[in-house]
Structure 1
Amino acid sequence: MPAKAAPPGSGGTDWVAHAILILAVILFVLPIWIVLMGSTHDAATIGRGEVPLLPGRHALENYRAAWERGGAGVPAGRMLWNSTVMALSIAIGKIAISILSAYAVVFFRFPFRRLAFWSIFITLMLPVEVRIFPTFKVVSDLGLVNTYGGLIIPIIASATATLLFRQFFLTIPDEFVEAAKMDGAGPLRFFRDVVLPLSRTNIAALFVVLFVYGWNQYLWPLLVATSDEVETIVIGMVKMIGSEASTEWNIVMATCVLALLPPVLVVVLMQRWFVKGLTETEK
């Protein structure tokens, strides 16, 4: 009986692909592993310049110290709460504003509709870093410095999310709109009963991206959060690193591990929806 032919793509190229994949995993995972292991050792071990690759015996006390007092006097628990409030508000706010603005641009006919869309789209060239001084001036004049509102409101709109929702809404068949009109559905009912259910996977995918975006914000919270009350975990980790002699590296590493948990949890819990929202073409 003749031997079966090898499937396409198998053979010599497989080990190259696997070798590259393994190397990439090592490059990404090794720093995280070192931080995780370092958070379980005492300050003296890290202070000697050792790179621990095995767990130590001080994990519980290090994480308790990070949670209760932090390395710069601000408990990691409070900073995690501030970052969670900021990231959730930014993600939910961006999605709400973007989906409503995209819905208006696509399904409503009003003067200067195209100009309104391009006015939103052109703000892609003006990120917070470019307009940071006038934005801070407005926030300061409104008395929003050192408040949750000052952290969230200036970066809550998203031209990217508006563009993505608009492109998806353009794929919704006109027959759906006509059927809704024949059933007597108004704009709000059509949005609630038709558009929102069709957009679930897109919303889930954008939520993951926008949550991580909000969680990793550094420059804007550095300007607006002038006290410990609204300090985020990203800012807190930087402030914990002082002079080489005074830095408690074991507490810093424990705080870094705690800072990784919320975004990792969001990605893991919403992984299926995230992949589906990026790859699904038939709604």
Structure 2
Amino acid sequence: MVERSVGLKVLTQLVMLLGVLIVAFPLYLAFVASTHTAEAIVQVPMPLLPGGNFVNTYRDALFGGGTGAGSTAPAARMLWVSLVCALVITVGKIAISLLSAFAIVYFRFPFKSFCFWSIFLTLMLPVEVRIMPTYKVVSDLGMLNTYAGLTIPLIASATATFLFRQFFLTVPDELVEAARVDGAGPMRFFKDILLPLSTTSVAALFVIQFIYGWNQYLWPLLVTTSEDMYPVVIGIKRMIAGGDAANEWNVVMATALLAMLPPALVVVLMQKWFVKGLVDTEK
């Protein structure tokens, strides 16, 4: 084992600390801005220490009441919309991908390979490519400004299907034979054997897909026109209008920080499962 010198350890720690400062400094500025009044932020130079307007700013951000030129929709409602959309997209993607991968690996039916490669080829057709026909279908079905319109077009996932398929192919055939001897049907085999074995993979995909659903911008921008259905990412954009002096930057920054909390909490709380699901090779 190669021993590291004290100087190398100090250098690596300094580089890591510098990287943390570079990443964290904009977040610190956003927090400082959220604790001052809108008038104080636009002054030159901008304050670098927290102010005393924390409670008022976050109250205006969460429950509305701002006077900026842009949208004054309450962030609490926008956070709820984003949370519902992210959870529906995440759970829907994982459920559909698990079942489709299970069918492709363990069932025999005509054109099975064709079906799999048809799913796989949809990787070439993200929502941005098919956005016009998808919008037309959603509009004709009356799903604009609805949770269904925000989530259903984004639920299918070829990536998750491919990952689960590759994992199911590594499951020993002996497990399948043992389940068949015990009289377990396909769905019982899926529920009692495959799902427990897939826990780490599901956890890793949950983190990835939750962040994907939370950060959606282009699709919600098209299908939402009512402030009641703005996800928080769209809400932040709608809050910015006119010149700098016309915007309540303290409320905007507070909303941006609030928007970061749910995905950050998901990553922190599921970090162990996320890393294990990406690197664990034991089956």
| TM-score (normalizing by structure 1) | 0.94
Match of 2:95 in 1: 96
Query: Mapping of 1:103-142 within 5 angstroms?
Result: 103-142=102-141
> Cα distance, 1:13 vs. partner?
4.0
Counterpart in the other structure of 1:68? 63
Match of 2:15 in 1: 20
- Letter in structure 2 aligned against 1:208: V
1:94 alignment partner, SS class:
helix
Q: Which residue of 1 aligns with 2:267?
A: 267
Residue 142 of structure 2 is matched in structure 1 by 143
Q: CA, structure 1 residues 34+182, in 2 after alignment: closer, same or farther (shift >3 Å)?
A: same
Instruction: State the number of aligned residues.
Output: 278
State which drifts further: 128-137 or 67-76: 67-76
Which string of whole-angstrom CA distances, capped at 9 and with x for unpartnered residues, describes residues 248-272 of structure 1? 0001011111111111111111111
| Distance of aligned partners of 1:236 and 1:24 in 2 relative to their CA distance in 1, 3 Å threshold | same
| CA offsets 1:102-154 (integer angstroms, 9 cap, x no match) | 11111111111111110011111111111111110111111111111000000
Measured against aligned partners, the alpha-carbon deviations of 1:80-118 in whole angstroms (never above 9, x if no partner) come to 010000000000000000111011111111111111110
Other-structure match for 2:256: 256
TM-score (norm 2): 0.94
Q: Secondary structure at the match of 1:245?
A: helix
**Within 5 Å, which residues of 2 pair with 1:1-283?**
7-10=2-5, 12-69=7-64, 71=66, 72-243=71-242, 244-283=244-283
Note the C-alpha offset of 1:239: 0.9
Which 5+ residue runs of structure 1 have no aligned equivalent? 1-5
Post-superposition shift, 1:50? 3.5
Spell out, residue by residue over 1:179-231, the C-alpha distance to the aligned partner (whole angstroms, 9 max, x if none).
Answer: 00000001000000000000011111110110010000000000001111211
Q: How many Å separate the matches in 1 of 2:229 and 2:131?
A: 19
Distance 1:73 1:225 in 2: 16
2-structure distance, mates of 1:9, 1:130: 50
Distance change (3 Å), C-alpha of 1:106 and 1:51: farther
- Does structure 2 retain, via aligned residues, the 8 Å contact 1:37–1:54? yes
Superposed displacement of residue 12, structure 1? 4.9
Q: Structure 2: state its 5+ residue gaps.
A: none
**Counterparts of 1:240 and 1:70 in 2: how far apart (Å)?**
12
CA distances 1:11-46 after superposition (whole Å, capped 9, x unpaired): 554344333322221221111111112111111211
Letter in 2 for 1:236: G
| In structure 2, distance between residues paired with 1:255 and 1:50 | 23
CA offset at residue 52 of structure 1?
3.4
Report percent identity of matched pairs: 60
- Quick check: 180-189 or 272-281, which moved more? 272-281
CA distance in 1, matches of 2:111, 2:14: 55
In structure 2, give the amino acid aligned to 1:190. F
In structure 2, do the counterparts of structure 1 residues 169 and 51 end up closer, same or farther at CA, with 3 Å as the change threshold? farther
Q: Distance in 2 between matches of 1:253 and 1:49?
A: 18
Give secondary structure in 2 for the equivalent of 1:145.
coil
Deviates more, 1:173-182 or 1:237-246: 237-246
SS, match of residue 48 in structure 1: coil
1:212 and 1:51 map into 2 onto residues whose CA distance is: 32
DSSP-derived class of the 1:81 partner: helix
